[in-house]
A and B are shown apart, each in its own frame.
Chain A
Amino acid sequence: MSNGTENVEVFENLRLELRRGCLSLAVLTQLRTERYGYTLRKALADDGLEIDEGTLYPLLRRLESQGLLVSQWREEDKRNKRFYRLSPTGEAVLGQLLAEWQRINTSLDKILQEA
């Protein structure tokens, strides 16, 4: 029983590790168009990448503090919302990340086919 639980824990940790990098890439890509938190989460969920509030908002702050995003509080539908979009630096970094992603993807495909 404990072995099964350990396996679940190991899988969960590895899954989170795998997701972490992918989420940053997905968020940066989605923010080529300006969005606020909820619509960003919804857009990601619609594409199959669910992300909870406790993960998204710290990630947005981290990306903003790294200069990859810019944000602005603005009124929409009589409510104040914080809109995020990619900064010029973010656009450059996203380009590099996407190229890296393609390289990793190609390599992984190759490795998986060989296996």
Chain B
Amino acid sequence: MSNKNPQELVDRYLQAVRFWLPNDRQQEDLVHELGEDLRSQIEAKEDELGRPVNQAEVAEILKRCGVPMVVAGNLAPRRYLIGPVIYPVYRFVMKMVLLWILVPVFLFIVGPVNLVHAKHWSEALAETLGSLWSGWFISAGIITLVFAIVERSQAHVAAVCKWDPLTLPPLRKKQERQPSLLKAACEFGFNIVGLVWLLLVPQYPFLALGPAAGILKAGPIVHTFYLPFVLVSIVALVRSAITLARPQWTWFPHLSQLTQSALMLILLNFMIEAITKTPGAWPIVMLQDAVRDSPKYLKVAAIVNMSILISVASTWLGLCIAAILQTREFLRSVRKRISAPQRSAFIGVQ
């Protein structure tokens, strides 16, 4: 190591810091100021030693200053790809898409289709998992990109600024749990999406069947139960709209949820009965006329029908459990409403 030009080491260090700093008008300013600080430190060291510093001594000063990337990170203004304001929404959307949309689509549609085309189930599993993995990456990338653009454009700031405390819902009654507004808003949004999806499915079957829409079409059961499902979806949409518009009606969500679950249970009950009683071929989805006689696609239809039947039965089971819990919640809220006036009177006397 030579002690001829320790300044060169400082310049190399500053160059490395500059590389990690955002390329804006502050960059040069920050690098210049840091350089000045380092040179002052070198000068102080030289005064202390009574001689010019060598490269090792300069390296010691730079080492104490820190790794260029870390120093640049500390010097630069804080920037987020997804900031703390929109991060909860980002996490929510990510969870919804990656877990609750992609997984069921791959489990019930893409998986069975791959199973039919593959020579062995392990090949189908590998292909499905591979596609799911790519789907996760692409979806996560797109969601992150959209949120990063929102963050960059500061679009959410306007929404935060427009917030008015006067629009807050009235104070809830003591001991009565009011449904979260965010939950009600999400429920409303998803119900709209669900209803639109349901209305579009007859015209665009690929929305429900994905790539299998080329070989499959809706069976008689779907035609019979389509309208009742649309009606239940409209009921769900109206219910979530009322919950959102009237959060002070704390009795409403429990009662309406229970009613909706009961309606859905009745409908699913009829549907399962109809599926099991229909003779002959699978009644939920059928093969398109063009491939009606293909034994390979018959297997596809069988697998998809079975998957749908299992989903319907699982939903029925889940709804039974939900209905029990909702009944308990409803009875609890009724009990609280009955006992609340007495308690209020007691507090009033005090």
* Residue B203, interface by CB 8 Å: no
Residues of A within 8 A of B29 (CB): 82
Cβ distance B31 to chain A, nearest Cβ, rounded Å? 11
**Contact residue among B37, B73, B74 (Cβ-Cβ distance under 8 Å from A38):** B37
* Residue A2, interface by CB 8 Å: no
Residues of B within 8 A of A80 (CB): 32, 36
- List which A25-52 residues lie within 8 A (CB) of chain B: 36-39, 41-42, 52
* Residue B40, interface by CB 8 Å: yes
Q: Mark B36-49, 1 if CB is under 8 A from A, else 0.
A: 11011100100000
Cβ distance A55 to chain B, nearest Cβ, rounded Å? 7
- List which A2-20 residues lie within 8 A (CB) of chain B: none
CA distance A37 to B65 in the complex (A): 14
Q: Mark B68-95, 1 if CB is under 8 A from A, else 0.
A: 0011011111000000000000000000
Taking Cβ atoms with an 8 Å cutoff, the residues of A that contact B are: 36-39, 41-42, 52-55, 57-58, 61, 79-82
**Contact residue among A39, A42, A52, A57 (Cβ-Cβ distance under 8 Å from B33):** A57
* Residue B34, interface by CB 8 Å: yes
Dominant secondary structure at the B interface:
helix
- The residue on A at minimum CB distance from B74 is A54
Residues of A within 8 A of B66 (CB): 52-54
**Contact residue among B26, B36, B73 (Cβ-Cβ distance under 8 Å from A79):** B36
Most chain A beta carbons < 10 A, residue from B39, B40, B73, B76 = B40
**Contact residue among A42, A54, A61 (Cβ-Cβ distance under 8 Å from B70):** A54
Residues of A within 8 A of B41 (CB): 38
Cβ distance B18 to chain A, nearest Cβ, rounded Å? 14
Cβ distance A40 to chain B, nearest Cβ, rounded Å? 10
CA distance A55 to B76 in the complex (A): 10
Q: How many residues of B contact A (CB 8 A)?
A: 21
- The residue on A at minimum CB distance from B66 is A54
Given that A54-B70, A54-B71, A54-B75 are known contacts, is A79 also in contact with B39, CB under 8 Å in the complex?
yes
Could you show 22 A-B contacts with beta carbons less than 8 Å apart?
A36-B36, A36-B40, A37-B36, A37-B37, A37-B40, A38-B41, A53-B65, A53-B66, A53-B75, A54-B66, A54-B70, A54-B73, A54-B75, A55-B74, A57-B34, A58-B74, A58-B76, A79-B36, A79-B39, A80-B36, A82-B32, A82-B36
Interchain residue pairs A-B with the least CB separation, the first 6: A54-B74, A38-B40, A38-B37, A37-B37, A54-B71, A82-B33
Residues of A within 8 A of B30 (CB): 57
- List which B7-38 residues lie within 8 A (CB) of chain A: 26, 29-30, 32-34, 36-37
- List which B51-69 residues lie within 8 A (CB) of chain A: 65-66
Given that A52-B66, A54-B66, A79-B39 are known contacts, is A37 also in contact with B75, CB under 8 Å in the complex?
no
CA distance A82 to B34 in the complex (A): 10
